[in-house]
Every structure is written in structure tokens, then in C-alpha cells.
Structure 1
Amino acid sequence: MPHVIVKLWPGKSEQQKTDLANQITEAVMATLGYGEESISVAMEEVSSKDWKQKVYDTDILHGEGELYKKPGYRM
């Protein structure tokens, strides 16, 4: 714990996904104080044609209590 899930369109390289997972891990360690052994990061690829139904409508539009960063807005 914690487990971070990144949903993204297909097409990023394995190296890009690995680099992102490493950067997320570093940020979680620095911000929340967990050790690396406690953190997991998953990448879930969602096609652009399914994005609205599977991600935007469920996680972004109706995920108000859990969403900490909205598209287009800087925190």
C-alpha cells in the first residue's frame, strides 16, 4: 500500500511506462513517507474510443470525491 493505477491511451513504450512508474514511486515516497517496498504502480491502457465511457464518465465526471486533479486544471 499504496497502489497507484494510471489509465492511459495505448502507444507509450515500455520504457516510458517504467520511467513514469519510477517517478510516481519516488513522489509517493517523498510525499507520503512510504518505503519503496510498500508501493505498487499499474498501467491500464484504455483505447481512445473507450476513454469517455470507461474513464471520463466514471472516474473523472462522477469521481468527485476521489479526483484530486481535473484535466486542464493545475493544483
Structure 2
Amino acid sequence: MPHVIVKMHSGRSEQMKTALAETLTKAVMDTLGSGEESVSVAIEDIQPKDWTEQVYKPDIIAKPRSIYKKPGYDPR
């Protein structure tokens, strides 16, 4: 039952979010062998000014073992 959460800067269109969710669903199905009915995708819009406090520090810095693709930036 994979559940993917995407946090990103706000401002993307609903069409872009839908396309991203479809692409991620397909990637999960192809990679993990999951059926479409068991995959869910959530998208959380984050204001750019809030990124460091709401995402970078708690989700990236504080959880290094869960990061499988590290970002190439350091907003601090």
C-alpha cells in the first residue's frame, strides 16, 4: 500500500499536479509491482518562505536515513 507525499512550492496548476500524480503512480506500479488500486499520492503546497521550517529542517535534515535522493541545495 504505497502512499507517496509530495511537498513542493505552491503555484503549480491542478493539471500539473494531476499529471505528476499519474506519473508517480505509474512509477510505483512499475517499480514495486503494486496494483493501481493500492497506490495513493498526496500533494502538499508549501509557500516558498515556509520551505526551510516546514520541509527542509523536519523532513530532510532531521530524517537523513529516509532520504534516498538528496537535494542539491541548502537553504540555511
**TM-score w.r.t. length of structure 2:** 0.91
For 2:26, the equivalent position in structure 1 comes to 26
Q: Which runs of 5+ in 2 are unaligned?
A: none
Amino acid at match of 2:12: K
3-state SS of paired residue (2:4): strand
**TM-score w.r.t. length of structure 1:** 0.93
Distance 1:63 1:47 in 2: 21
CA-based RMSD of the aligned residues comes to 1.2
Runs of 4+ in 1 over 2 A off after TM superposition: none
Query: Alignment length, in residue pairs?
Result: 73
Distance 1:71 1:64 in 2: 11
